[in-house]
Amino acid sequence: MTDFHQALRSLRVWDTELPSFDPASAPPEPLPLFHDWFTAAAAAGQTEPHTLSLATVDEDGRPDVRTVMLHDADARGWHFASHATSAKGRQLAVRPEAALGFYWPVQGRQVRIRGHVTTGTPEEAHEDLHARTTGALASALVGRQSEVLDSPDTLARASEAAWRRAEAEPDAPAPTWTLYVVEPAEVEFFQGDARRRHVRLRYRRTADGWTRELLWP
């Protein structure tokens, strides 16, 4: 057996005590439950619980996925940010629909979200970017995300210039930086179980609000 397959077969899933989840106690809307699960994951020591998988579709209908950071989750939806000129930005401009996936293995939990994507105002995008670190601003000032790079040296020079500007102009604008909001149509909460009797609770938005339903694992 190759090292890869040996490593793959040797791994255990949820080698920890998992919390219980009674779906009957879930709130009528998904946002409060997400807030509870997020803070519980952070308190349990989950590494980077604010990272998520973002799936979009390109103009040819091919799916695309990457890891981004959550910037907020409120009554409007789940927030993340990127350049409008990036691959994800261009895809969302053509097909403003997305799926998000959170995975917190320390508690055997997942949250999946699907919905329509809107953009915040330029003022919101500016505030979002400048509430973050100097490094985040420098990265945004470099721009050109997803474009072909001719050499690491080119990136190093652009990054050094962006860092100098970010330090000298902490309010410097990044015109293509965009705040995106996923307005949820479906939100699913998955609680893993050691005996594989996983609990899946799905919220679906209807004309009358939210409806809840259990799914087979």
CA–CA separation, 114 and 53 (whole Å)? 12
Residue 208: the pLDDT is 93
Single pTM value for the model: 0.92
pLDDT per residue as tens digits for the range 94-106:
999 999 999 999 9
Banded pLDDT at 145 (limits 50, 70, 90): confident
Mean pLDDT estimate for the chain: 95
CA–CA separation, 98 and 79 (whole Å)? 12
pLDDT per residue as tens digits for the range 74-101:
999 999 999 999 999 999 999 999 999 9
Contact present, 166 and 172 (Cβ < 8 Å): yes
Phi, psi of 138, rounded to the nearest 5 degrees:
-60, -45
Residue 146: the pLDDT is 86
What would the two tokens of residue 210 be?
């939210």
Residue 182: the pLDDT is 98
Contacts of 57 (CB under 8 A, 6+ apart): 63, 64, 91, 95, 97
CA–CA separation, 198 and 116 (whole Å)? 28
